[in-house]
Structure 1
Amino acid sequence: VTTYILTVMNMVSSLFKDGTIGTDINIVVVSLLLLEQDPLGLNINHHADQSLNSFCQWQSGLVGKGGKRHDHAILLTGLDICSWKNEPCDTLGFAPISGMCSKYRSCTINEDTGLGLAFTIAHESGHNFGMIHDGEGNPCRKTEGNIMSPTLAGNNGVFSWSTCSRQYLSRFLGTAQASCLGDEPKQIGQYKYPEQLPGQLYDADTQCKWQFGSKARLCSLDFVKDICKSLWCHRAGHRCETKFMPAAEGTSCGPDMWCRRGQCVKYGEHGPRAIHGQWSAWSQWSDCSRTCGGGVMYRERSCSSPRPQNNGKFCPGPSRLNHLCNTRSCPTSAIDFRAQQCAEYNSKPFRGWYYKWKPYTKVDDEDICKLYCIAEDYDFFFAMSSKVKDGTSCSDHKGDVCIDGVCEAVGCDQILGSKASLDACGVCQGDNSTCKFVKGQYSLQHQANEYYTMVTVPAGAQSIHIQEMEVSTSYLAVRSLRRKYYLTGDWMVDWPGKFSFGGTVFDYQRSFNKPESLYAAGPTNESLVFEILLQGRNPGVVWEYTLPHTERKPEYSWGVARSDCSAPCAGGRISTKAICLQDQRTQVNSSMCNPLPRPTLGSHLCNTQPCPAYWTTGDWGACSRSCGGGQQTRTLRCLRKVTYQREEVVAHSLCPSISPAQVQPCHIQACPPEWSTGSWSQCSKSCGRGLRKRSVFCRSTDPGANAVVVPDSMCRQHHKPKAQETCVLQRCPKNEKLQWILTPWGECSRSCGSGIQRRELRCGERDSQEGYVEYPIRRCRNMAKPLVELQQVCNRGLCPEVPQAVPGRTTSSAMGLGWYSSPWQQCSVSCGGGVQTRTIQCLRHGLPSAGCLPHQRPAASRACNTHFCPAAPLAPVQRPSNRVTAAGSTLKDERCADLFSWCHLVPQHGVCTHKFYGQQCCKSCSSRKP
């Protein structure tokens, strides 16, 4: 058992030596107690909270050899503990937050789960160091596999400390509470620590038994290669399972292989190379936390270049540097800084009510940097914040300040951490030579139960120390010359503490085993009378204080001080003034001298010659060009100062030969390319609206022949000139022949059933051949349009009632979707080439749909009866002309005609290019656009 526990504690020690913790924590076992049954006063059960309270109380009475106590107590138990009930559950450990070094709270309880117990101990001890779970009230994430994660699970088999844990620990170690950790414990010789790694002492099967029971074994599947990251175990009747804890260091993970730092490496190797941390650069200094009275500014760096890895060392030295700033005293009217912070809560409800808060400082030293406030006119106080703002004084009588919740010492030289202190005379780092010591002793015996004066200390006294020579039942008392008691007056004995009176703070100490004492740094601003309230025999009281040396009174007299000439030329002045001298040597404030004999003095001119001439320039004018090299000029004058207030312009020859430049180049950068244009062309029409054009190109702006044409993209597109525009040379004569032309009715919009036919109104002119030439609509805009209908209903016969599926086409049986066609209609002619048509529809379950594939649509027409008719005359086909007929369609030669009634279908089905159809249906094919 001892070897097992020491192995676990070795693992705990290794975790606290990991570089990510940021400091040196040395774990030393000073005592090991094996309890086979609960001793008197110790009650351990499944209830972790109750068991911890019992253990903490019990361990407070344990004392080691030589009367020395341990710093921290750890209880290991095989019981399955639970934080909230006396039954087993998944709790692994329990600990008081920030209990380290406390007699009754520096203790933890930990459930033994095998070698993973080391991580539980480190986690719970972290709580005792003041650490809080990652992700709970701090920016660190819960799932990064750090030791203080709410659930223990390493990051690829490696456990480390988060940034938040490191900050919590650093903050705790800076408090007075952590002082017990400073002494080095004595090495205990009777314990022999194992020299092998944990995994060498206890193989993977043993580790599985400890985690899952005596019948558990290492999983025989391929998980074995990952046991250095997560140990997978198997129980009969169960699947392979894991608690996401790695196999211990040194566990065999294959032939001649072992686990080191989360990796399976060759036996004898130490795993990944340790990477020691390096500091980043310092940040900029922060703003000062106060405007007066001594604020704090800081700069920070992080151990991230690189971060420590694989048990590498953390960066040595501090991560933050603090510096006092704005140390001048605040105005007497300023509100106390701690009082300001309490007053900020006046506007916030406290348990449903509003109060006026004032500072409360009668707290323990370790809590002095917490913001305790007391409700005005009430007798309760509360910690409103876990820490006051940086720069807040720790107390009224010392210059120390709170920084990040810790009271930091400030020397009398106003430097953080400085050891500089005031001497007995109140001089910083002085040698006590500037004052005299006054000492005395009061040992007279008097009748008991009366006040007796011992000494009167004058105003200005410093380093006042009053102390009884022996422990007694008498009390020290202090009053003013006017018999106003400040301490233990009117038969009312005050408790020990700090008392402010007489311009300073007195520290009154009284305990059962030490003589009573009073101390104040001073200086006092009034005379104080120190008395003793006798309660028996006078034990004797000694006292001591300092006063400034009394020196000869200095003599003050008037003297005369002469100034230098105020100017080297153009008329300066020499002034004389009276000064007050101390002992004819040192100048002091004029108020020290008698004002009546003060001499009356004045001033006179000096150096009245003119000053040498000098050049003066005006402002530069505007540049002559915005680019491509321009010039700018300025005025240049030669001036000479004649008197203190007057200057004159003189000849340039009187000024220095080297004069400032009057002209300088400007905007020398090349101009960007610009658009260039050619000449406009002739208007395209001799009358009416026409067009004219010109070339537009992008050209560089280099002068002369250096200009070249460049790509249009180099010029600004929104500035590009127009390449064409409309033009009107003259109005065209009014055309009397213009009229509105009505086109023939178009084809019906549907091949069966009811549809729509449309026709158009066009602008045209009758020609000599009884046809029409068509013009743009705007030519007829001044003519009234005829009132005619431009669309009508048409009917091409009934549509087929029952559509049939197209043979050979595939339809979706599930959807009922496909192309359907009606039977072929009768051929339009009996010979000479006709057309048969049919209706094609896309149907889904008998209803029209748009889901059919277009490329599968079957033909809606086909040629038929294409054999030649024996006696059918053929009309010659002529080239179409550019005229329009009276009906508005394009005119063809009179011999271009339709020879069949179905010719209107030919252009609809796109077969006009067929030689036969084109000849037989010349008119229809010529009147339709292809």
Structure 2
Amino acid sequence: MLGSGARPDKCGVCGGNGSSCQRVFGIFEDSQVNVGYHKIIAIPSRATKINVTEVARSRNYLALRSRTGHSIINGNWAIDRPGVYESAGTTFVYKRPTETSGESFYAEGPTTESLDVYMIFQQDNPGIHYEFVLPVDNPVHPPQNPLQSSQSYGSPTTGGLREVSALESGSVLTHRGNLGTHQRNAGTHGGGVSTYHGNAGAHQGSPVPPRPRGGQRDRRLQEYHTDAQEDPVQAQPVYRWTSQSATQCSVSCGKGFQYPIFRCVAQNTQELVPDGHCDSVSKPASVAEACNTHPCPAFWSVGPWSQCSKTCGRGVHHRQVLCRQAYANRTVAVHPQGCSHLEKPNSTQPCEARACTHWHIQSDWESCSVPCGVGQRKRSIRCVSNQGNVVGEGECSAKQKPTDSETCDMGPCIKTWFYTDWSSKCTVDCGIGVQKRSVLCLNNYINGRSPDSCEGPRPTETRACTRPHCQRQVRWYTSPWNQCPVQCGNGTQNRDLICVVKLGTNFSVTVLSDCAHLDKPPSVQPCNAGPCGDRWFLTDWNECSKSCMGGVQRREVKCLDDVGFASSLCDDSQKPSHQRICNNHPCIPELDENCKDKYYNCPVVVQARLCVYSYYKMVCCASCTHAERRGTDPRRHRVSGHRGAGGGGG
């Protein structure tokens, strides 16, 4: 608070007296250590103000790892770059040596787990200074003997020594603190020398710890724990957790749950303080308590509507309507009388899926009748039954019939040159080929093309293109599709397929098996010649009514639509004739079966008038007899007589 005069103590507590933490520090001076990783010190959880620094520059490296085996700095024989590394809930700043100091890393903390500090030894140890601050759960005044060792990092005893196992190898282990000097000589035990130097006094003659079996040295790492308090005589406040309030109930009725809210208070003043003053481990667990156990009012619960009871025509939708009541996050069905104060929703409602006959759109909209301006477009609409059969239009509602024609606007008509972009493909895969584009002169004519050319020169439709790096290619070649074999309606058209080899601009036909690895294009496809519309349908001519002297042949002619029903929309001017004259040649008596032509050139004999000779009349009996009978035809005499009357002669 501004103007309060409060200051943070060395433990970081605002207005504190420094008794809530203890400072752990020392110097590791073991100078004879084998090459490799060696553990120096363990940093407990909740440590703050961590600082590990080499006293002088060396070729050694500091390393840091978690108790789970996770490497943080310089692990796995790999040296990391100087920088910031996040782990154990804090951020470590790693620095490389300078001209005046060696390697170092520091962190503000607090740490969330225990960490181990290692040194990668490559030469004699110049000395490693370490320090960090640990919180004190129950701080007390320091004892009279400042060198009394504590049993754990979180011990309430402050100002004493901290003993942990040191390295398994090495001959000299030296740690220094600032509360006193404690020297211990191993004597004849063959152990190393552990020396502490300080400025508060000297204590000598400490008992030498027992030597372990096997002649191994027993060295322990001595760490000083010091108070960071400013006034050790001042009494320490006591804080505890208390329940001040509870969370809001989870429901307003029908049994919900709420949880107590614990806050940290000072025991002597019962004032609220930040939760950090209380021990998080001792915080009571929040146990749910029942609340708002009175039952909720009943309500009508409705289910989803069922499908229509009929697939066509008018039917009924059904749904389930129940009286329900909520309790303890569950709803149960109750007697309908419980919802008597509410209006009951309908459990049925009318529906109509569709009419039993309906209009069916058989085809999409055709293209507009004009390329520009306003035109018409059509589509096919039919009345079908519920089974999909086509029925008469009178079976469907005329009011519900969709439109089968509409106007279409293709934009204003113009008269100018239009052209597409150049095709992205060259006509050859290598060498010099051609690129194409389409050029049109558009105007307001129905067919979209002008009888007169547009103004200006016609844009070019081709241009040269180059494709280098010719390679042999095998591909399918398809001919153009044959014309649709039907005049109208659906049919099937074909095209030819061959396998060709292309090298540059040269093509040559090869066997079909060379193209077997390629996707074969289709050689057959359906085609549509357009709607047939109403047309005249004919039958074959029947037999002639007479064999000679003019008879009559007849046939049926009907106008039918696409479906085959009779229609009156055909053009009467184009109606084919339904009868014709036949066999109008004169009747000739049958010849004697022995009167036959014996030569193939008997017609020439007749034309040369050689039938007057008995020889030719015998060998060309049939031809000469027919010629003679035609000459005696009375109608021919009448024609000849008329021709003779005109003065022409015969």
TM interval, shorter chain, is: under 0.3
Q: Which has the larger radius of gyration?
A: 2
Q: Which has the higher helix share?
A: 1
What is the TM-score when the length of structure 2 is the normalising length? Answer: 0.27
Q: Which has the higher strand share?
A: 2
